Amino acid sequence: MSALFEPRTLRSLTIPNRVWMAPMCQYSADATGPDTGAANDWHFAHYAARAAGGTGLILLEATAVSPEGRISPYDLGLWNDTQVESLRRITAFLKAQGTTPSVQLAHAGRKASSDRPWQGGAPIGADAHGWQPLAPSAVPFDEGHPVPTELTPEDIGRITGEFAAAARRALAAGFEVVEVHGAHGYLIGEFLSPHSNHRTDAYGGSFENRTRFALEVVDAVRQVWPDDLPLFFRISATDWLEGRPGWTADDTVRFAALLRQHGVDLLDVSSGGNAPRVDIPVGPGYQVPFAARVRAETGMPVAAVGLITEAEQAEKIVANGEADAVLLGRELLRNPSWAQQAARRLGGEVHVPEPYHRMV
């Protein structure tokens, strides 16, 4: 049997295969009004297509725990009950296709209040529904970006509570996995890295202090998330800042062991995003070695992501024990039925909706 199409059990949850969809923002929610941050027909069609295509687990895009935690005004959120109701239609359909509905909980930190990528992605102000970003330190992401407001310890405690509240709403919305977003230079990742965290209090300086906020968020989420359901954490394995202060692969391995002790069940291993204009050696599977190292050195289950496009490539990653699952991003945008096609190539079995049985 194909390793890629074997089920994977985490806690009490069995995920039908190892082809998972990476979280990718759609920037398609309403920016204002009563439906701000709520899922709409675009989100339903987008995720439903990948579930019908056999994807074993779908991680919904970065979903903000508060209005100021959005990357853009058009992001999904989970800070009110209207948003919960809008997501139930999606989770119900995903479950009906045998897909595990999952959601990434996020706070954008200093990279918040940005325009849609296809409109340039630049920081925006109040005239375009923008707001003042928050961060561990008053250090802008890049030239031309606003200086963020440095969070107080009270602010940090409030945001920790917002993650927990969003996790409760995620459960009410029908999700079976939550992922804490600690990657790509958003708020939690900003705390982790000395590149963006210049604090001198209990949340800055040493490794223990810089990881404190992330672990407090994990603890708060794990406390409200059911014991029988898994919790994921997404990490940027490195800032790619060779020779300069930043988060490193060694830090990731050390931190993964801590996350496991705090109840995280799987590490979703990406990289970069915390510093502009860095040299990243992009190529097929370029981030897989980071995931493989975490798995080998800590025993933590991992998912690998990054230019995984071919069925045989994905099969090798899982079969060789480099990762427990692969997360496909752009490839699933191009081909919603990637999992079904890969199963035919590899001799695996995957769910096919009854109306599609004629294609098998």
* Active-site amino acid positions: 186
326 φ, ψ to 5°? Answer: -115, 140
Contact indicator for 323, 295 with CB cutoff of 8 Å: yes
Query: What three-state secondary structure class fits 152?
Result: coil
313 φ, ψ to 5°? Answer: -65, -50
- Residue 116 token pair: 């849609």
Query: What three-state secondary structure class fits 77?
Result: strand
Residues 279, 272: Cα–Cα separation, whole Å: 10
The rounded Cα 25 to chain-centroid distance in angstroms is: 10
Contact indicator for 110, 132 with CB cutoff of 8 Å: no
Neighbours of 172 (CB within 10 A): 14
Query: What three-state secondary structure class fits 301?
Result: coil
Q: What is the DSSP letter of 151?
A: P
